[in-house]
């Protein structure tokens, strides 16, 4: 009896990591974009395009690695459209981001139509002999799929990049004061372009994680608002990578709780339980935004503001 | 070498020219897309944009679909002018449908002529209440209304799913997730015989005029515009940004809720798990395409409504996925945003080191 419960618990905790990982990738991508001073509300659209591109690539080649690369490419491609609009044509970032999401939803549904219900074999959890076989700790530490570990590496690398590396500081300078950065001679537009592209690639990866590992299948609109939750996570994290990771795991927990609450014997309508991650997002946003000064001190000062070299 | 040169003053021609240019570019890209898929581009465009409205039934369907788009977009546009980004019209529409629908289901054998007026008030109130949540969270806790209004859309959709699977499910419906059909007294009167076009279309037209008067002629409309354009000037003038947040969200929510009531008391006639094919989201495109102006929105809503009909036609005739509609709508917004650059800039074609 006890053994059974421990196994359920392990399964739930592994599920938390699977729920959190796409949020980590998307939130880190958006965090870098926002640190450069650009608000891209197209996360959901880029995730969907990444999800469908990764899925199609895996169906075509059978290689999950190629799938993830295709997803990054597709996400970055869509992001470059956004970059062109906001950086070259100086369009409103909020409207352009919304356009990106609307477009991404349509394009992914269009290309994915022939793939609904197609079965694939996604990447499996790793298994290291001896280590993974250690009771309890083994599967929890060494029993995830490779992307779960990569998400941690990405968070650490991003934290280092932003606080310790030269280019990370330039990126932050561009986001804090694009005029000053421009005056010193940094290529503001170029840096923002690459930040947007990186954000797109990470969102693509996040989408592919959902279509290749989390579900694994393709369905229209399958990201189900996770892109928006990732956007909220960036605010929740006050633009700090480590806190984004914690936030993502909290949300992963809420998602899994919602899936498992009935198996735990609580009689609540599944439809009402489905609301949980979205209500949690609102609550978290309210709690964190209540302190206006804290947000203002942490948000990149030029977030959402257009930059023109000539004035 | 193509460069963008700032204009001395914004071009009034391009304010109205940009949407037309965007439509033309969308058509050209659409034709290229159709031919890349191996279809005759001209025939496909004909099927998409002309065929659906080539008979009177098609025109009533166009007006039917333009109605919720217009209602949602007029409300959203007021907010967008004041820099209030309500993108949860879809959820507010759903809540309006739920409140109005709950009344229709509860008193399903009523024959009272008060049913429709009461349901209209309920729809307005439902959408308004749902939009009041982001307004409260924004003004009280500074929570971003983009994210909260969007999250509430998911919550509203699941709530509707819960209701039609539980409390409001048709007791004689073989466990289908649907409410019972509304009684005759709870259905909107038809405007045209042998069609689905109901009087809601007229009310939407009335709302367009009201919205226009409000934005152009009233103090509150002026305040919204000033708060949106120059927050600092608004501050000195003593205009309250919080008031603008409340006003635009409540108005947007009420109109979206009304649109939801029209859908369930009009073409649908019951509560279902899905009320709208994304009217609340598409209304964002309509609002921008219509230059955030009620009259422009009316024209834009007709065009975008056509993209829904066109999507259905090419699905039937060419067996293309219905998602073509979404692709067209997304492209249209992209091109519009891109063309808007021409309001403040002119294209200059020539060599960089011009001497003149």
Question: B200 or B236: whose pLDDT is higher?
Answer: B200
pLDDT at residue B356, as a whole number: 41
Chain B positions touching A275 (Cβ under 8 A) are 154-155, 158-159
**Vertex A92: Cα angle to A88 and A94 (nearest 5):** 125
- How many Cβ atoms sit within 10 Å of the Cβ of residue B355? 4
Euclidean distance between CA atoms B223 and B221, whole angstroms: 5
Asked if residue B123 lies in contact with residue B99, where contact means CB atoms within 8 angstroms, the answer is: yes
Rounded to the nearest angstrom, the minimum Cα separation between B151 and chain A is 5
- How many Cβ atoms sit within 10 Å of the Cβ of residue B155? 24
Determine, for residues A272 and B162 on separate chains, whether the beta-carbon distance falls below 8 Å: yes
For chain A, the first-to-last Cα distance in angstroms comes to 71
- How many Cβ atoms sit within 10 Å of the Cβ of residue B51? 17
Rounded to the nearest angstrom, the minimum Cα separation between B334 and chain A is 6
Q: Is residue B148 part of a domain?
A: yes
Determine, for residues A109 and B325 on separate chains, whether the beta-carbon distance falls below 8 Å: no
pLDDT tens digits along A56-108: 999 999 889 999 999 999 999 999 999 999 999 888 888 899 889 989 998 99
Rounded to the nearest angstrom, the minimum Cα separation between B148 and chain A is 6
Q: Is residue A303 part of a domain?
A: no
Q: DSSP secondary structure string, B149-190?
A: HHHHHHHHHHHHHHHHHTTTS-TTSTT-S-PPPPPGGGSPPB
Residue B349 carries which DSSP code? E
Q: Closest residue of A to B321, CA-based?
A: A110
Q: Closest residue of A to B136, CA-based?
A: A286
Q: Which of A31-45, B32-46, B193-207 has the lowest mean pLDDT?
A: B32-46
Q: Which residues, in sequence order, are CB contacts of B243 under 8 Å at separation 6+?
A: B223
Closest CA to B298 of B211, B225, B189: B211
Q: How far is residue B108 from each of residues B24, B96, B104, B111, B183, measured CA to CA in Å?
A: 48, 18, 5, 9, 5
Which domain range does residue B271 map to?
A: 66-342
pLDDT at residue B354, as a whole number: 46
Q: Which region holds residue B38: left if phi is over 0, alpha if psi is between -120 and 50, else beta?
A: left
What is the number of structural domains in chain B?
A: 1
Determine, for residues A94 and B333 on separate chains, whether the beta-carbon distance falls below 8 Å: no
pLDDT tens digits along A125-167: 777 777 777 877 777 777 788 899 999 999 999 999 999 999 9
pLDDT at residue A77, as a whole number: 96
Structure tokens at A40: 């891209």
Please, what's the b/e burial string for A42-69 (b: 16 or more CB within 10 A of its CB; e: otherwise)? bbbbbbbbbbbbbbbbbeeeeebeebbb
Is the CB of residue A281 less than 8 Å away from at least one CB of chain B? yes
Rounded to the nearest angstrom, the minimum Cα separation between B351 and chain A is 19
Residue-averaged pLDDT of chain A = 88
Euclidean distance between CA atoms A41 and B145, whole angstroms: 13
User: Looking at the partner chain, which of A96, A269, A279 has a beta carbon nearest the beta carbon of B166?
Assistant: A269
Closest CA to B261 of B113, B97, B108: B97
Euclidean distance between CA atoms A170 and A102, whole angstroms: 32
Tell me if residue B270 falls in helix, strand or coil: coil
Burial class (CB in 10 A: 0-12, 13-18, 19+), B89: buried
Helix A188-209, helix A64-83: angle, nearest 10 = 140
Q: Is residue B54 part of a domain?
A: no
**Vertex A285: Cα angle to B221 and A206 (nearest 5):** 110
pLDDT at residue B206, as a whole number: 95
Rounded to the nearest angstrom, the minimum Cα separation between B140 and chain A is 8
In the stretch 84-143 of chain A, residues with CB closer than 8 A to chain B read 85, 88-92, 94-96, 98-99, 102-107, 109-110, 113
Q: Is residue B347 part of a domain?
A: no
Tell me the CATH number at B319: 1.10.3470.10
- How many Cβ atoms sit within 10 Å of the Cβ of residue A182? 17
In the stretch 165-194 of chain A, residues with CB closer than 8 A to chain B read none
Residues A59, A65, A68, A70, CA torsion sign: negative
Quickly tell me which residue has 């970032």 as its tokens: A93
User: Looking at the partner chain, which of B6, B162, B288 has a beta carbon nearest the beta carbon of A95?
Assistant: B288
User: In the predicted model, what is the mean pLDDT of residues B294-308?
Assistant: 93
Residue-averaged pLDDT of chain B = 90
Q: Is residue B207 part of a domain?
A: yes
Q: What percent of chain A has pLDDT over 90?
A: 49
Chain B positions touching A83 (Cβ under 8 A) are none
Q: Is residue A310 part of a domain?
A: no
Q: Is residue B17 part of a domain?
A: no
Please check the confidence at residue A117 and state whether its pLDDT lies above 90.
no
pLDDT at residue B355, as a whole number: 44
Determine, for residues B341 and A109 on separate chains, whether the beta-carbon distance falls below 8 Å: no
Residue B348 carries which DSSP code? E
In the stretch 213-272 of chain A, residues with CB closer than 8 A to chain B read 220, 224-225, 228-229, 231-232, 235, 269, 271-272
User: Looking at the partner chain, which of B155, B162, B165 has a beta carbon nearest the beta carbon of A278?
Assistant: B155
Structure tokens at B159: 């709530």
What is the number of structural domains in chain A?
A: 1
Please check the confidence at residue B330 and state whether its pLDDT lies above 80.
yes
For chain B, the first-to-last Cα distance in angstroms comes to 16
Chain A positions touching B341 (Cβ under 8 A) are 89-91
User: Which residues pair with residue B190 across a beta bridge?
Assistant: B198
Rounded to the nearest angstrom, the minimum Cα separation between B184 and chain A is 30
E strand spans, chain B: 2-6, 345-349
Q: Is residue A243 part of a domain?
A: yes
Chain B positions touching A93 (Cβ under 8 A) are none
- Complex ipTM: 0.88
Q: Which residues, in sequence order, are CB contacts of B165 under 8 Å at separation 6+?
A: A269, A271, B177, B273
Residue A237 carries which DSSP code? T
Rounded to the nearest angstrom, the minimum Cα separation between B5 and chain A is 10
Interface test with A, best of B151, B161, B229, B324 (most A CBs within 10 A): B151
Asked if residue A78 lies in contact with residue A46, where contact means CB atoms within 8 angstroms, the answer is: yes
Q: DSSP secondary structure string, B64-90?
A: HHHHHHHHHHHHHHHHHHTT-----HH
User: Looking at the partner chain, which of A232, A292, A310 has a beta carbon nearest the beta carbon of B147?
Assistant: A232
User: In the predicted model, what is the mean pLDDT of residues B322-337?
Assistant: 86
E strand spans, B133-279: none
Closest CA to B137 of B119, B125, B149: B149
Residues written for chain A: 311
Which domain range does residue A62 map to?
A: 2-298
> Which residues does B contribute to its contact with A (CB < 8 Å)?
4, 6, 85, 87, 137, 141-144, 146-148, 150-152, 154-155, 158-159, 161-162, 165-166, 281-282, 284-285, 288, 321, 323-331, 333-334, 337-338, 340-341
Q: Which region holds residue A304: left if phi is over 0, alpha if psi is between -120 and 50, else beta?
A: left
pLDDT tens digits along B48-59: 889 999 899 999
CB pairs under 8 A between A and B: 136
pLDDT at residue A310, as a whole number: 64
Phi and psi angles of residue B161, each rounded to the nearest 5 degrees, phi first: -60, -40
Chain A positions touching B327 (Cβ under 8 A) are 103, 106-107, 110
Structure tokens at B89: 């019209």
Asked if residue B304 lies in contact with residue B23, where contact means CB atoms within 8 angstroms, the answer is: no
pLDDT at residue B154, as a whole number: 92
Interface test with A, best of B69, B91, B150, B291 (most A CBs within 10 A): B150
Q: What percent of chain B has pLDDT over 70?
A: 98
Q: Is residue B275 part of a domain?
A: yes
Chain A positions touching B321 (Cβ under 8 A) are 109-110, 113
Longest CA–CA separation in chain A, Å: 72
Tell me the CATH number at A282: 1.10.3470
Q: Closest residue of A to B333, CA-based?
A: A99
Q: How confident is the model at residue A1 (pLDDT cuts 50, 70, 90)?
A: very low
Q: Closest residue of B to A91, CA-based?
A: B337
Q: Which region holds residue B112: left if phi is over 0, alpha if psi is between -120 and 50, else beta?
A: beta
Residues B75, B78, B84, B85, CA torsion sign: positive
């Amino acid at each position: 009896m006890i053994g059974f419960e421990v196994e359920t618990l392990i399964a739930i905790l592994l599920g938390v990591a699977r729920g959190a990982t796409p949020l980590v990738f998307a939130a880190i991508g958006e965090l870098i974009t926002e640190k450069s001073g650009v608000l891209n509300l197209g996360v959901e659209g880029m995730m969907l395009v990444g999800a469908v591109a990764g899925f199609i690539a895996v169906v075509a080649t059978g290689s999950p690695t190629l799938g993830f690369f295709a997803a990054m490419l597709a996400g970055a491609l869509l992001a470059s459209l956004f970059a062109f609009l906001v950086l070259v044509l100086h369009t409103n970032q909020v409207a352009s981001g919304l356009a990106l999401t609307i477009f991404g939803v349509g394009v992914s549904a269009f290309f994915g139509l022939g793939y609904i219900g197609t079965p694939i074999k996604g990447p499996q959890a790793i298994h290291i002999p001896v280590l993974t076989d250690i009771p309890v700790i083994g599967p929890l530490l060494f029993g995830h799929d490779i992307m779960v570990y990569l998400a941690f590496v990405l968070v650490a690398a991003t934290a280092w990049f932003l606080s310790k590396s030269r280019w990370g500081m330039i990126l932050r300078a561009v986001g804090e004061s694009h005029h000053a950065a421009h005056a010193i001679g940094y290529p503001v537009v170029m840096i923002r372009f690459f930040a947007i592209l990186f954000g797109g690639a990470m969102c693509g990866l996040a989408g592919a994680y959902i279509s290749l590992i989390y579900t694994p299948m393709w369905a229209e609109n399958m990201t189900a608002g996770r892109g928006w939750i990732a956007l909220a996570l960036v605010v929740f994290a006050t633009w700090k990578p480590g806190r984004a990771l914690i936030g993502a795991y909290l949300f992963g927990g809420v998602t899994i709780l919602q899936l498992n609450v009935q198996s735990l014997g609580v009689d609540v309508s599944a439809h009402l339980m489905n609301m949980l991650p979205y209500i949690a997002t609102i609550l978290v946003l309210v709690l964190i935004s209540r302190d206006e000064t804290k947000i203002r001190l942490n948000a990149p000062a030029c977030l959402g503001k257009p930059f023109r070299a000539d004035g | 070498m193509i460069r963008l040169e700032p204009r001395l003053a914004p071009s009034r021609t391009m304010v109205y020219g940009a949407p037309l240019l965007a439509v033309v570019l969308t058509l050209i890209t659409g034709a290229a897309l159709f031919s890349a898929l191996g279809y005759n581009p001209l025939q496909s465009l004909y099927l998409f944009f002309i065929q659906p409205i080539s008979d009177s039934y098609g025109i009533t369907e166009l007006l039917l679909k333009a109605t919720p788009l217009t209602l949602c977009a007029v409300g959203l546009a007021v907010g967008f002018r004041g820099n209030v980004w309500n993108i949860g019209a879809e959820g507010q529409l759903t809540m309006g449908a739920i409140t109005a629908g709950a009344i229709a289901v509860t008193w399903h054998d009523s024959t009272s002529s008060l049913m429709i007026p009461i349901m209209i008030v309920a729809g307005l109130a439902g959408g308004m209440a749902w939009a009041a949540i982001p307004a409260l969270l924004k003004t009280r806790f500074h929570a971003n209304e983009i994210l909260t209004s969007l999250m509430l859309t998911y919550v509203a959709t699941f709530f509707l799913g819960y209701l039609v699977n539980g409390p409001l499910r048709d007791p004689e419906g073989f466990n289908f997730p649907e409410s019972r059909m509304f009684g005759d007294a709870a259905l909107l009167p038809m405007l045209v015989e042998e069609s689905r076009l109901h009087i809601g279309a007229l009310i939407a037209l009335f709302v367009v005029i009201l919205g226009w008067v409000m934005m152009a002629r009233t103090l509150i409309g002026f305040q919204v515009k000033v708060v949106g354009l120059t927050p600092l000037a608004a501050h000195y003038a003593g205009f309250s940004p919080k008031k603008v947040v409340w006003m635009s969200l409540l108005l947007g929510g009420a109109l979206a809720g009304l649109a939801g009531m029209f859908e369930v008391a009009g073409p649908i006639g019951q509560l279902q798990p899905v009320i709208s094919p994304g009217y609340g989201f598409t209304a964002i495109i309509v609002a921008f395409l219509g230059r955030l102006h009620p009259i422009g929105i009316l024209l834009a809503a007709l065009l975008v409504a056509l993209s829904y009909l066109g999507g259905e036609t090419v699905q039937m005739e060419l067996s293309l996925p219905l998602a073509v509609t979404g692709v067209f709508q997304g492209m249209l917004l992209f091109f519009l945003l891109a063309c808007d650059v021409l309001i403040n800039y002119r294209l200059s074609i020539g060599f960089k080191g011009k001497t003149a």
